[in-house]
Amino acid sequence: MTTPFLSVERLSQRYPDGEGGQTTIFENASFGIERGEFVVILGHSGCGKSTIMNILAGLAEASEGVVIMDGKEVSGPSLDRGVVFQNYSLLPWLSALKNVTFAVAARYPDWSKDQVLSHSKKHLEMVGLSADVFHRKPSQLSGGMRQRVSIARAFSISPKLLLLDEPFGALDALTRGTIQDELLKVWAGTNQTVFMITHDIDEAILLADRILLMTNGPFARVAESVEITIPRPRNRIEIVEHPNYYAIRNHLVQFLGKHSKELAGPTDAVENRPETVRIDKTAPAARSPKKLAV
Amino acid sequence: MTDMSVNKRAAILSFILLIGGLLLWEAAIPGQKAVGELTEYERLTGGGAQKAGVPPPSQVLEKAWEQLSDPFYDAGPNDKGIGIQIGYSIYRVLAGYFLAALIAIPLGFLIGMSPVAYKALNPFIQVLRPISPLAWMPLALFIIQDSETSAIFVIFICSIWPMLINTAFGVAGVRKDWVNVARTHELGALRTAFMVILPAAAPTIVTGMRISIGIAWLVIVAAEMLVGGTGIGYYVWNEWNNLDLTSVIFSILMIGVVGMALDAMFGVLQRFVVYSE
Ligand SMILES: Nc1ncnc2c1ncn2[C@@H]1O[C@H](COP(=O)(O)OP(=O)(O)OP(=O)(O)O)[C@@H](O)[C@H]1O
Ligand SMILES: [Mg+2]
């Protein structure tokens, strides 16, 4: 087996529990992400998704284990890993445009001012923002526009890995839908590797190549890796008619509703690798995966 | 529309209060005079040598007109125009204030960024901060041996604390997500300080600067009463010694006006750096 583009190897995170002891958030978690892959991680609140993401971003350090990206160990944040946080990732004293230009200027220090400006504007337009909002401060933008700016900024620096922590968590369903479409459109043109956290099962199916499922904490682990066997380009209306859609959705709901609790707790394994689950009703020898409740 | 009318109504009310207050004051003066002798009142309005008694507003206005029409005359050490006196005071305030800012803001940055520096310096700050600035005066006069520099030192010491504490507080309180934005974009320490931490903490820092300039202006009047020579504080004290209450009242008003102007300047600066999330 060749090593994937991003390889997470036996990652553990422990925090002091405030009573002199330690709580283990997750232990010996291992998984990989291929180049150009869109991976979404699903799990209950508090299982450690953000913790994993911060480690991938280099913003936090794991208690044990390593993350290897493109053959190099991740240590500290870098422009190679772009991050979109759920909130506050825009600097409120800068205009929408300046929030992007400062990133572009940091990424491409020898570009001229005009190059930086046109590159930034191009990316803001790509996420559906019009020129009349470029000079507004984040506080003068709607939540959806703000998140568009964050996404534009993240894509504008073309990181090797894009990390999204519940980017649409604070948005209403309608806005969520349009921005998901925008994200898919921008992503399709770049072949960017994406690692995204969400709470929304439908969003995960629409966007992902693969969904990682986490069990509940403490001692959470990435238990399954579910392939999304629905061809691209996808679209929110047609996707529900695909024969695999409800099968996959059911599997995810079952996992989050039942298995995530049943499978919780520490294991003896030296390494917790997710089990690959492939659900494909269209394949000639369609067979329910063993974990799918019948 | 409603907003306009609120402003208008407030302006009219302010004006009525001013006129009413002045009339009441004017009317109250002869009543007091009646205890003494009426002829003195005549002499007072005649502008002759003044004795005791609170002057009416008409006299204060007259004085204001006289002083403000030639604010910069200089007729010896005890007879300088109000403009010159205020100029001296402002010079001392600004000199002490900017020296304080020069030290307080970088030091506040350090304290805000480093928990070790914060813990190490905190006991000193806590002990030094509650000391009345004027309590430093004798020591300053003894060590510096110069009343002018001592006054500036007192301004320095009184304006350093709000700026230091607010800077440290603002810097320490910068949202972690913003610092993370800087980190993920690989901004160096210096660029993070100037592009993220300074603008994020600027409203708190400017609030500290505004508090400091207010305190400095309060303290300079008292300091100049002690050290003497020049300045608006000395002028008030000198006119009191001359029993020229008209000048005393006029200079009190001028102290208020200058203080208001200094504060307004920082109000403008504050509006410039403020941001909403
Ligand atoms: N600095 C810390 N010290 C102690 N415990 C922490 C710390 N940071 C996170 N935790 C704990 O780690 C666990 C995982 O937190 P994390 O933020 O990764 O959850 P999450 O899966 O992202 O949840 P959500 O979906 O609600 O965002 C939580 O139980 C949290 O209490
Ligand atoms: Mg989270």
Residue numbers of B between 201 and 230 with CB closer than 8 Å to A = 202
Output the average pLDDT for chain B: 88
pLDDT for res B1: 53
Confidence of residue A139 (pLDDT cuts 50, 70, 90): very high
Residue ranges of domains in chain B, CATH in brackets: 56-70+77-273 (1.10.3720.10)
* Pocket probe mutation, ligand 1, options A23, A51, A85, A199, max atoms within 8 Å of Cβ: A51
**Cβ contacts of residue A250 below 8 Å, gap of 6+?**
A292, A293
Q: What ligand 1 atom has the least distance to the C-alpha of A86? A: 27
Phi, psi of A10 (to 5 degrees): 45, 55
Chain segment B178-216, per-residue pLDDT in tens: 999 999 999 999 999 999 999 999 999 999 999 999 999
State the maximum Cα–Cα separation within chain B, in Å, rounded to a whole number. Answer: 83
Output the average pLDDT for chain A: 88
Between B134 and A171, name the one with better pLDDT. Answer: B134
Chain segment A215-242, per-residue pLDDT in tens: 987 888 888 999 999 998 888 888 889 9
pLDDT for res A268: 76
A193 and A159 Cβ atoms separated by less than 8 Å = no
- State mean pLDDT over A160-184: 88
What chain B residue is nearest to A60 in terms of C-alpha separation? B180
Asked if residue A287 has pLDDT above 60, the reply is no
Phi, psi of B41 (to 5 degrees): -60, -40
Asked if residue A247 has pLDDT above 70, the reply is yes
Chain segment A15-35, per-residue pLDDT in tens: 998 888 889 999 888 999 999
A7 and A68 Cβ atoms separated by less than 8 Å = yes
Per cent of chain B over pLDDT 90 is 68
The top-scoring range by mean pLDDT among A231-235, A284-288, B133-137 is B133-137
Confidence of residue B163 (pLDDT cuts 50, 70, 90): very high
Adjacency order of strands within the sheet including A6-16: A22-33, A6-16, A64-69, A72-73
Task: Report H helices in chain A.
Answer: 49-57, 96-107, 113-126, 143-156, 173-190, 201-207, 243-254, 260-262
CB contact under 8 A, B185 and A107: yes
- Residue identified by tokens 């800012």 is B101
Homologous superfamily of A6-80+159-292: P-loop containing nucleotide triphosphate hydrolases (3.40.50.300)
Asked if residue B50 has pLDDT above 50, the reply is no
pLDDT for res B49: 44
**Cβ contacts of residue B126 below 8 Å, gap of 6+?**
none
Of the residues A93, A102, A108, A147, the best mutation for testing chain B's interface (the one with the most B CB atoms within 10 Å of its CB) is A93
Chain segment A82-120, per-residue pLDDT in tens: 999 877 689 999 999 999 999 999 999 999 999 999 999
- State mean pLDDT over A183-199: 89
State the maximum Cα–Cα separation within chain A, in Å, rounded to a whole number. Answer: 61
Structure tokens at A146: 């703000």
- pTM attached to this predicted model: 0.84
B277 to chain A, closest Cα gap in Å: 5
Chain segment A60-75, per-residue pLDDT in tens: 999 999 999 998 999 9
- State mean pLDDT over A3-26: 90
- State mean pLDDT over B80-95: 93
Please tell me the distance from the alpha carbon of residue B28 to that of residue A254, in angstroms, as a whole number: 88
**Cα(A50) to centroid of ligand 2, in Å?**
4
Confidence of residue B122 (pLDDT cuts 50, 70, 90): very high
Q: How does DSSP assign B126-171, residue by residue? A: HHHTTS-GGGGHHHHHHHH--HHHHHHHHHHHHHHHHHHHHHHHHH
Secondary structure letter of residue B10 according to DSSP: H
**Cα(A141) to centroid of ligand 1, in Å?**
29
Structure tokens at A66: 């390593």
Please tell me the distance from the alpha carbon of residue A131 to that of residue B76, in angstroms, as a whole number: 65
Between B75 and B38, name the one with better pLDDT. Answer: B75
Confidence of residue A190 (pLDDT cuts 50, 70, 90): confident
Asked if residue A200 has pLDDT above 70, the reply is yes
Per cent of chain A over pLDDT 90 is 57
Confidence of residue B270 (pLDDT cuts 50, 70, 90): very high
Confidence of residue A270 (pLDDT cuts 50, 70, 90): confident
Asked if residue B258 has pLDDT above 90, the reply is yes
Q: How does DSSP assign B32-99, residue by residue? A: HHTTS-HHHHHHHHTT-S--SSPPPHHHHHHHHHHHHHSTT-B-STT-B-HHHHHHHHHHHHHHHHHH
Q: What ipTM does the predicted assembly reach?
A: 0.85
Please tell me the distance from the alpha carbon of residue B208 to that of residue B150, in angstroms, as a whole number: 23
Please tell me the distance from the alpha carbon of residue B93 to that of residue B96, in angstroms, as a whole number: 5
Please tell me the distance from the alpha carbon of residue B140 to that of residue B146, in angstroms, as a whole number: 8
pLDDT for res B36: 47
CB contact under 8 A, B276 and A77: no
Q: Residue A25: left (phi > 0), alpha (psi -120 to 50), or beta?
A: alpha
Asked if residue B243 has pLDDT above 80, the reply is yes
Residue B258's nearest CA partner among B235, B242, B241 is B235
**Cβ contacts of residue B104 below 8 Å, gap of 6+?**
B159, B160, B161, B163, B164, B167, B208
- Where b means 16+ CB within 10 Å and e means fewer, A256-289 reads beebbeebbeeeeeeebbbeebebbeeeeeeeee
pLDDT for res B3: 64
